[in-house]
């Protein structure tokens, strides 16, 4: 919190401008909200609504031509995420959620991720404090 919150405000009084100070840090962007909505619609079965948001809102606002709906929606969506949110440290989690993280790392960087090494190990202290937790495979 110290990197985006004004250290001289107590957080209990004043307006939002006082709480957050003059630091202009982006916590969430419209592009991310729209892409997340399109993804949720697609995964819930509203494919035409998802394509509508992707082509007629996201790409149109960027001045880009629509993508043919014959393309694989998740591939197009992940490409849009990569362009819209480049450098914002959320791409890995989006790729994991889509199950495309191993493929992406191989294609983009030529690196093979060993089976089980695409997830982090559970810290030893957590396992010692709870006997029901088992270490992730590969560690």
pLDDT of residue 51: 96
Supply the pTM of this predicted model.
Answer: 0.64
Query: What pLDDT digit, counting tens, does each position of 93-126 carry?
Result: 888 888 888 888 898 899 998 877 788 889 999 9
pLDDT of residue 1: 42
pLDDT of residue 81: 87
3 burial (CB, 10 Å; 0-12 / 13-18 / 19+) is: exposed
77 contacts 42 by C-beta, under 8 angstroms: yes
At residue 82 the predicted structure's pLDDT band, cuts being 50, 70 and 90, is confident
67 φψ region: left (φ > 0), alpha (ψ -120 to 50), beta (else): beta
pLDDT of residue 98: 82
Query: What pLDDT digit, counting tens, does each position of 2-61 carry?
Result: 455 555 555 544 555 555 555 556 667 888 899 999 999 999 999 999 999 999 999 998
């Amino acid at each position: 919190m110290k990197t985006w919150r004004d250290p001289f405000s107590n957080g209990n009084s004043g307006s939002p401008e006082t709480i957050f100070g003059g630091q202009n840090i982006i916590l969430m962007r419209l592009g991310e909200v729209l892409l997340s909505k399109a993804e949720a619609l697609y995964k819930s079965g509203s494919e035409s609504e998802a394509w509508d948001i992707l082509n007629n809102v996201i790409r149109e606002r960027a001045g880009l031509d629509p993508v043919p709906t014959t393309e694989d929606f998740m591939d197009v969506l992940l490409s849009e995420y990569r362009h819209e949110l480049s450098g914002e440290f959320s791409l890995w989690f989006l790729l994991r959620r889509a199950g495309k993280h191993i493929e992406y790392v191989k294609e983009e960087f030529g690196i093979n991720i060993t089976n089980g090494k695409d997830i982090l190990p559970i810290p030893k202290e957590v396992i010692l404090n709870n006997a029901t937790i088992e270490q992730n495979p590969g560690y």
